[in-house]
């Protein structure tokens, strides 16, 4: 079968898996405030008020629950089936979940469908970065892996506008149609992956050396078997496979051993912090936030959509410059800016807002705090600026960074563990902090996430090393107990692939 060798096209197809997560985010945020959804899944004594606050948190969190479980399993699947087949399996699972979600007759069926969708997201979110990392040259790795976050932002924006258009439809089709359309990108992902090569490093780990060599020629040599870059890459993979084949098979317990614990904790916390920035508050529940700022009905949805456009546009600078600037500076600047805007929003709501009553703004109890006038415009502005701070920093780098921390032998399971931490905290945040937090502690919700951003700033500054532009096979040449903030998981002198223009 014909195989695609252009690394940009390989990334463009595989990151559709990230777009599926984006589809889920905005389909929920646009639909949960709509009358058809509120009426059909109503639980309260008052008609068309929707599920109870804790139940809505459970509906939203159900996808994260499935993602957490699948992310843990993805390490075993990717090591046995391969990166490519694991991603294709995720696409099949997404189609099944979307069918169940779009046909939901009650809340229980909706939750089951979202758990199944979560299985796909867990597999793809863990293994797409690994797959691209193992194919990309060092000088382009950040750009290509970070494109997964860009796909997420495109998925968010596209599905939001689809859901917004469907909101004018009367009846349950207003939410069934967008949920059903989520199947289309998964089908495209499955078909596209059929034409992509397998990871050369996974092929080498299975002693399929001829196939490994052919993939390197296809992707890095542009078809030239005599390419010096192909020879160098093949030699490095071969050397490391000899070393790693002498070791025992990888288990998750190995990641907790003294030699690995520092690297493991950095990868895990990169994903944990990305979930505690507060970005998903803006994504899933932005309509609640803007209700508190006085925007209602279609005005609310249009204003909410602007942040999705900002998210798409502001991710582009990261793709262009993250390989030049590096991972550490990008994470530090992002954390500082996000903390600033979270504290600003909390201060504005506390100083100029007031309790909106038990029914909330417009009968939406999650919109429990109200602010008007110039302060409400400032809240909206700070929300947009927060998104503009996250998009070029923690959004893409949280996917780029973990796969760069580990050697070939442990990368699949290590990234799976890190990604499972992402989804575990996504589940906790969706179930506990939102939307009950908006009901119970109102504006103080912003202070919680502001503190998290300060904590991650300190953590990154003192403990996260730089990994940009380093060949993957150099990951094993460091003693983790000696890592400092200036170290880079590689020898001081190394050869990298020649830079290419896009």
- Reported confidence tier of residue 429, pLDDT bands at 50, 70, 90: low
Task: Tell me if residue 207 falls in helix, strand or coil.
Answer: coil
367 CB neighbour count, 10 Å cutoff:
27
3-state secondary structure string, 446-466? HHHHHHHHHHHHHHHHHHCCC
- Please give the biggest Cα pair distance in the chain: 74
CATH number of the domain to which 318 belongs = 1.20.1250.20
Tokens standing for residue 354: 């007031």
C-beta of residue 232 within 8 angstroms of C-beta of residue 239: no
pLDDT at 309 > cutoff 60: yes
Q: How many whole angstroms separate alpha carbon 205 and alpha carbon 62? A: 35
pLDDT at 491 > cutoff 50: no
C-beta of residue 21 within 8 angstroms of C-beta of residue 121: yes
- Reported confidence tier of residue 365, pLDDT bands at 50, 70, 90: low
* Mean local confidence (pLDDT), 464-483: 61
Q: How many whole angstroms separate alpha carbon 404 and alpha carbon 381? A: 35
Q: How many whole angstroms separate alpha carbon 62 and alpha carbon 429? A: 12
| Host H or E run for residue 295 | none
Q: At what angle do helices 83-102 and 16-31 cross, to 10 degrees?
A: 20
Does residue 115 sit within a domain? Answer: yes
pLDDT for the residue 366:
62
pLDDT for the residue 411:
82
Average pLDDT, the chain: 82
Q: What is the DSSP letter of 354?
A: E
Bigger pLDDT: 289 vs 387: 387
251, HSE (Cβ side, Cα atoms, 13 Å):
4
- Reported confidence tier of residue 493, pLDDT bands at 50, 70, 90: very low
Is residue 169 packed enough to be buried (19+ CB in 10 Å), middle (13-18) or exposed (0-12)? middle
pLDDT for the residue 223:
83
pLDDT at 492 > cutoff 70: no
pLDDT for the residue 84:
94
Q: At what angle do helices 107-135 and 408-428 cross, to 10 degrees?
A: 150
Domain with 25, as residue range(s), is 7-198+247-482
C-beta of residue 71 within 8 angstroms of C-beta of residue 123: yes
Task: Tell me if residue 221 falls in helix, strand or coil.
Answer: coil
Bigger pLDDT: 218 vs 293: 218
pLDDT for the residue 438:
62
pLDDT at 502 > cutoff 50: no
191 CB neighbour count, 10 Å cutoff:
12
Range of 236-240, 301-305, 386-390, 498-502 with top mean pLDDT:
386-390
- The string of pLDDT tens digits covering residues 231-286 is 888 888 887 777 666 555 667 788 888 888 888 999 999 999 998 898 876 766 67
* Mean local confidence (pLDDT), 92-115: 94
pLDDT at 423 > cutoff 80: yes
C-beta of residue 135 within 8 angstroms of C-beta of residue 10: yes
Residue % of the chain over a pLDDT of 70? 83
pLDDT at 410 > cutoff 70: yes
Least confident of 91-100, 280-289, 356-365: 356-365
C-beta of residue 303 within 8 angstroms of C-beta of residue 355: no
**Residue 307's closest CA among 399, 183, 395, 366?**
395
* Mean local confidence (pLDDT), 368-374: 77
Range of 66-80, 86-100, 140-154, 303-317 with top mean pLDDT:
86-100
DSSP letter for each residue of 113-162? HHHHHHHHHHHHHHHHHHHHHHHS-GGGHHHHHHHHHHHHHHHHHHHHHH
- The string of pLDDT tens digits covering residues 201-232 is 899 988 899 999 999 999 988 888 888 888 88
| Host H or E run for residue 3 | none
Residues with Cβ within 8 Å of residue 314, at least 6 apart in sequence: 387, 388, 391, 392
pLDDT at 10 > cutoff 60: yes
Q: How many whole angstroms separate alpha carbon 442 and alpha carbon 433? A: 11
Does residue 70 sit within a domain? Answer: yes
Does residue 494 sit within a domain? Answer: no
Q: Buried b / exposed e across 235-263, counting CB within 10 Å, b at 16+? A: ebbeebbeebeeeeebebebbeeeebebb
Chain centroid offset of residue 372 CA: 33
Does residue 222 sit within a domain? Answer: no
Q: How many whole angstroms separate alpha carbon 15 and alpha carbon 9? A: 10
φ/ψ of residue 361, rounded to 5: -75, 125
C-beta of residue 407 within 8 angstroms of C-beta of residue 317: no
Least confident of 197-201, 326-330, 434-438: 434-438
Q: Structural domain tally of the chain? A: 1
Residue with tokens 């008052």: 46
- The string of pLDDT tens digits covering residues 332-354 is 999 999 999 999 988 988 888 77
pLDDT at 70 > cutoff 80: yes
Q: What is the DSSP letter of 33?
A: T
pLDDT at 313 > cutoff 50: yes
Instruction: Report the DSSP beta bridge partners of residue 361.
Output: 364
Q: How many whole angstroms separate alpha carbon 273 and alpha carbon 104? A: 33
- Reported confidence tier of residue 184, pLDDT bands at 50, 70, 90: very high
| Host H or E run for residue 366 | none
pLDDT at 153 > cutoff 80: yes
pLDDT for the residue 110:
94
Does residue 225 sit within a domain? Answer: no
C-beta of residue 483 within 8 angstroms of C-beta of residue 405: no
Does residue 206 sit within a domain? Answer: no
pLDDT for the residue 403:
86
Does residue 174 sit within a domain? Answer: yes
Q: How many whole angstroms separate alpha carbon 501 and alpha carbon 117? A: 37
Does residue 256 sit within a domain? Answer: yes
pLDDT for the residue 303:
73
């Amino acid at each position: 079968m014909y195989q695609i060798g252009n690394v940009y096209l390989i990334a463009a197809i595989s990151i559709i898996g990230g777009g599926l997560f984006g589809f889920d985010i905005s389909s929920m945020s646009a639909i949960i405030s709509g009358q058809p959804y509120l009426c059909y899944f109503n639980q309260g004594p008052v008609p068309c008020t929707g599920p109870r606050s804790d139940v809505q948190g459970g509906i939203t969190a159900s996808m994260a629950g499935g993602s957490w479980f699948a992310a843990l399993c993805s390490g075993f699947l990717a090591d046995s089936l391969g990166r490519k087949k694991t991603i294709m399996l995720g696409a099949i699972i997404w189609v099944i979940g979307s069918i169940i979600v779009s046909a939901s007759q009650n809340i229980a069926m909706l939750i089951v469908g979202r758990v199944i969708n979560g299985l796909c997201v867990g597999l793809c979110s863990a293994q797409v970065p690994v797959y691209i990392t193992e194919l990309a040259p060092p000088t382009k790795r950040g750009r290509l892996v970070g494109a997964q976050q860009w796909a997420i932002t495109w998925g968010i924006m596209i599905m939001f506008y689809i859901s917004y258009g469907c909101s004018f439809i009367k009846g349950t089709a207003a939410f069934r149609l967008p949920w059903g359309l989520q199947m289309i990108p998964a089908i495209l992902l499955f078909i596209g992956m059929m034409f992509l090569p397998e990871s050369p490093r996974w092929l080498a780990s299975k002693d399929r050396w001829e196939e490994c060599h052919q993939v390197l020629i296809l992707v890095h040599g542009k078809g030239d078997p005599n390419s010096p870059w192909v020879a160098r890459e093949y030699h490095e993979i071969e050397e490391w496979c000899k070393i790693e084949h002498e070791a025992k098979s990888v288990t998750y317990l190995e990641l907790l051993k003294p030699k690995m614990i520092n690297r493991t904790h950095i990868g895990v916390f990169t994903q944990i912090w990305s979930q505690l920035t507060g970005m998903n508050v803006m994504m899933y529940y932005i309509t609640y936030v803007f209700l508190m700022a006085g925007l209602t009905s279609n005005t609310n949805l249009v204003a909410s959509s602007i942040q999705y456009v900002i998210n798409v546009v502001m991710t582009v600078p990261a793709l262009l410059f993250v390989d030049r600037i590096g991972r550490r500076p990008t994470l530090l600047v992002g954390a500082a800016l996000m903390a600033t805007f979270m504290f600003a929003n909390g201060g504005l709501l506390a100083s100029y807002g007031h309790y909106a009553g038990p029914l909330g703004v417009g009968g939406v109890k999650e919109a429990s705090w109200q602010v008007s006038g110039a302060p409400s415009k400032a809240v909206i502005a700070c929300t947009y600026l927060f998104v503009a701070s996250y998009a070029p920093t923690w959004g893409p780098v949280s996917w780029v960074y973990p796969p760069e921390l580990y050697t070939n032998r442990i990368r699949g399971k290590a990234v799976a563990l890190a990604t499972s931490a992402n989804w575990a905290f996504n589940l906790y945040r969706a179930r506990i902090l939102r939307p009950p937090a908006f009901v119970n502690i109102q504006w103080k919700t912003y202070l919680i996430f502001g503190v998290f951003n300060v904590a991650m700033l300190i953590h990154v500054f003192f403990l996260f090393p730089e990994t940009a532009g380093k060949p993957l096979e150099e990951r094993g040449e460091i003693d983790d107990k000696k890592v400092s903030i200036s170290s880079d998981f590689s020898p001081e002198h190394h050869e990298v692939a020649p830079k290419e223009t896009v």
